[in-house]
């Protein structure tokens, strides 16, 4: 019988988050949603990566499984529910370290939008969009990852 899960505590206050992640790696998940329209990206509206297109994703919370983190990130960032597919690999972000931001290490999962998610997803082209080519305004690490995995040219 599986062990019962302990509910994850709420996210950290920003000052505590910054203090911790200025000294240790930060585990993140990357949501790779692909369709005939391309790969789904979101434009960051805040933080040090504001204005850049990114794979949806986020920090894994304490006590949260990777699958739950992927589902939460897809819902939080894109507003859709997903079925988590295969593990695609990892993305390290030396550009963050070079800029003195932090040191995220992302675990990328392929996801499939459920029928409900496909009906409600209406990319607006300014904050959420499908891409068949990797945009210039994107982390170089994510650009390289998407090209290496054949998701975009």
DSSP state of 124: -
In this prediction, residue 73 carries a pLDDT of 93
Asked if 51 contacts 137 with a C-beta cutoff of 8 angstroms, the reply is yes
What is the distance between the alpha carbons of residues 149 and 72, in angstroms, rounded to a whole number?
Answer: 24
Asked if 78 contacts 25 with a C-beta cutoff of 8 angstroms, the reply is no
Q: Which residues touch 73 (CB under 8 Å, ≥6 apart)?
A: 29, 31, 56, 57, 58
In this prediction, residue 4 carries a pLDDT of 60
In this prediction, residue 8 carries a pLDDT of 65
Asked if 110 contacts 30 with a C-beta cutoff of 8 angstroms, the reply is no
pLDDT in tens, 22-62: 788 999 999 999 888 889 999 988 777 889 999 999 999 98
Angstrom CA distances, 66 to 5, 45, 84, 107, 121, stand at 13, 24, 10, 9, 23
Architecture of domain 20-148: Alpha-Beta Complex (3.90)
Alpha helical stretches, state H, the chain: 14-21, 66-78, 94-98, 115-120, 140-148
pLDDT in tens, 71-101: 999 988 888 889 999 999 999 999 888 888 8
Tally: H helices and E strands in the chain: 5, 7
């Amino acid at each position: 019988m599986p062990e019962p899960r302990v509910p994850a505590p709420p996210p950290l206050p920003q000052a505590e988050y910054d203090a911790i992640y200025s000294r240790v790696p930060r585990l993140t998940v990357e949501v790779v949603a692909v369709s005939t329209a391309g790969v789904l990206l979101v434009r960051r509206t805040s933080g040090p990566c504001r204005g850049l297109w990114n794979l949806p994703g986020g920090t894994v919370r304490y006590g949260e499984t990777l699958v739950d983190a992927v589902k939460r990130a897809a819902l939080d960032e894109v507003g859709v529910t997903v079925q988590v597919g295969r593990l695609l690999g990892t993305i390290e972000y030396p550009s963050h370290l070079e800029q003195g931001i932090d040191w995220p290490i992302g675990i990328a999962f392929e996801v499939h939008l459920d029928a409900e998610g496909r009906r409600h997803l209406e990319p607006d082209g300014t904050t959420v969009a499908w891409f068949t080519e990797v945009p210039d305004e994107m982390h170089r690490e994510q650009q390289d990852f998407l090209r290496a995995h054949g998701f975009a040219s």
